[in-house]
Structure formats: structure tokens, C-alpha cells
Amino acid sequence: MMPANILELNHVHKSFARTETENVTQALSDINFTVRDGEFLSIVGPSGCGKSTIMRLIAGLIFPTAGTIKLNGEVIQGTNPERGMVFQKPTLFPWLTVEQNLTFSARMMNTAKRSEYKSEVERLLEMAGLAEFRHDFPHQLSGGMAQRLALIRTMINQPKVFLLDEPLGALDAFTRMNMQDELLRLWQRSGHIVLMVTHDIDEALYLGTRVLVMAPRPGRIRADLVNDMSYPRSRTSDEFLHWRKRVLEMLDFGHNFN
Ligand SMILES: Nc1ncnc2c1ncn2[C@@H]1O[C@H](COP(=O)(O)OP(=O)(O)O)[C@@H](O)[C@H]1O
Ligand SMILES: [Mg+2]
């Protein structure tokens, strides 16, 4: 059996230099958590509390000011398809078709395994409901379809860590709930690590095996909650509503509305 993947953040701080003044923004202060295969970590918190900064650090797009981030014991040195990131707005190539968008990154990753990818491409297109749209271009797709394409394009590289920064934020409520179920299926099938940032407390609770509640100025972890509700979850159960109340209260106490 393959050893399970483990992602560790140890005393991670991140500051950004402000232009004009000598000031720095302390985006993150002393972030500590560990995530293992099979965990789905939802991250919630008000705007500016450093959620995207955490994702970009793990993606290797930026580096900590202090502290360490390790995947399987190795310090993260930069971007790598083993850590796949999906942004709020799908970043697709407008001049490539659906299928070409999907195969582009696979081709980039490992030319030798191209034939293996062919069947994987088919499987993913089917799963995302995009098989019959394979020759369409991004501008011909709905928001939900484009986002599904962005998701499977990252999945094709079979990331050990799937980083989702408000990936469903631009979708209408119904599409969004369907996509949440698709995300659950994806994660359950892969068995890997998912970290998902969301503004939406219901979404965080519906999906996550853990919910990280953050607070701003400086960005920090207010609570790291184990969400042991069994799947499939009901958004209207008493248990769910109880959880919702708990997280809402936590966010209110952690945040000045001024
Ligand atoms: N590249 C950057 N340069 C300067 N400040 C930044 C940069 N990225 C983020 N910040 C600041 O860090 C804080 C956290 O930002 P961010 O991680 O985007 O928050 P969130 O995603 O939770 O809304 C904010 O105060 C933001 O203005
Ligand atoms: Mg953000």
C-alpha cells in the first residue's frame, strides 16, 4: 500500500510589504495544521483573513515569511501538479476547445503516458457532463460547465492535494449545490487531500471532514473543528443547523463589523 499523504503547516507566518509606506501586512500569523489523505478541510472566515494566502502558499506560488510547509516530509519549493489549484474564476484557454483545455495540462505533465490519459480524458469528460461539448470553446459554456472543466483539468493530474479557492463562488445556488455533490464524489473517489476555501458556512459544513474557522488582522486560526456528521449530509437536519449556529457564533465573535 502507498503511504498516506500528509500535509503539515508549522508555525507559518506570512507578511506582505506595503508599497508607499514601510508598513507590512501580516496576512497570516502562526498557522498550524496537519491534513492527511481522506480529509476534506473546509476553510471559512471573513474577507482578508488570509484564506487565499494559505492556498497560494501550499500551491507554492508564494513562500512563508517564517515557518514551514511540508508535503510528505518535504518542504514545498514551488508549484507542482501534485498540488493542483482551482481558482474562483475558471482559468481556461479561450482559444482551445473543452477537450484541448483538458488534455493540455496532462500533456504538459507527462508525455510518455499520453495513451493512458486518453481513457482518463474520456472518463472525466463523461463524469463532468462535458463529453458532448468536447469541441466547444470556453465562451460557449455556462459558468457551471466552465468550472467543471477547470476542476477536471486539475484532477487529470491526480493531485495529492487539491486546492480549491472559492471554486463555486460565481455559481447560482442550484448549480452550486449540484457541484458540491460532484466535489464530494471526486474527493471520495480519489481518497486524497482536499482543502477548500469558502465564504459559505453551509458549504463548509456540507463538505468538510474538518472546518477551519479563521479570524483577520492578523489572519489566524480561531478553531479547527472535526465535523463528524455522516455523509450524505442533510442541509436541513437539526444536527446541521446546530453546527451552523456554532460556526456562525464563532465567526461573529472573531470579527469586528466596523
Ligand atoms: N500580494 C499581496 N500583497 C500585499 N498584500 C496582500 C497580498 N496578498 C494578500 N494580501 C493581504 O493579505 C491579507 C489576506 O489576504 P487574502 O489571503 O487574499 O485573504 P482572503 O482570501 O481571506 O480574503 C489581506 O489583508 C490582503 O490585503
Ligand atoms: Mg480569497
Q: Which residues line ligand 1 (CB under 6 A)?
A: 16, 25, 27, 45, 47-53, 219
Mean pLDDT over each residue of the chain, to the nearest integer: 90
Q: How far is the CA of 45 from the centre of ligand 1 (A)?
A: 13
Instruction: For strands 40-44 and 24-36, give the pairing.
Output: unpaired
Q: How confident is the model at residue 213 (pLDDT cuts 50, 70, 90)?
A: very high
Which among 166, 182, 148, 132 has a CA at the least distance from the CA of 54? 166
- Which pLDDT tens digit goes with each residue over 4-50? 999 999 999 999 987 766 688 999 999 999 999 999 999 999 999 99
Q: Whose CA is nearest to atom 25 of ligand 1?
A: 48
**Within a 13 Å sphere around the CA of 239, how many CA atoms are in the beta-carbon half?**
10
Distance 52 CA to ligand 2 centre (A): 4
Distance between Cα 117 and ligand 1 center (Å): 37
**Looking at domain 1-49+59-73+195-258, which of 3.40.720.10, 1.50.10.20, 3.40.50.300, 3.30.70.260 is its CATH number?**
3.40.50.300
Look at the block and give the residue holding cell 448549480: 175
Calculate helix-pair angle for 143-155, 114-127, nearest 10 degrees.
150
Q: What is the 3-state secondary structure (H, E, C) of 211-254?
A: EEEEECCCCEEEEEEECCCCCCCCCCCHHHHHHHHHHHHHHHHC
Pocket probe mutation, ligand 1, options 16, 29, 44, max atoms within 8 Å of Cβ: 16
Backbone dihedral region for residue 66 (phi beyond 0: left; psi -120 to 50: alpha; all else: beta): beta
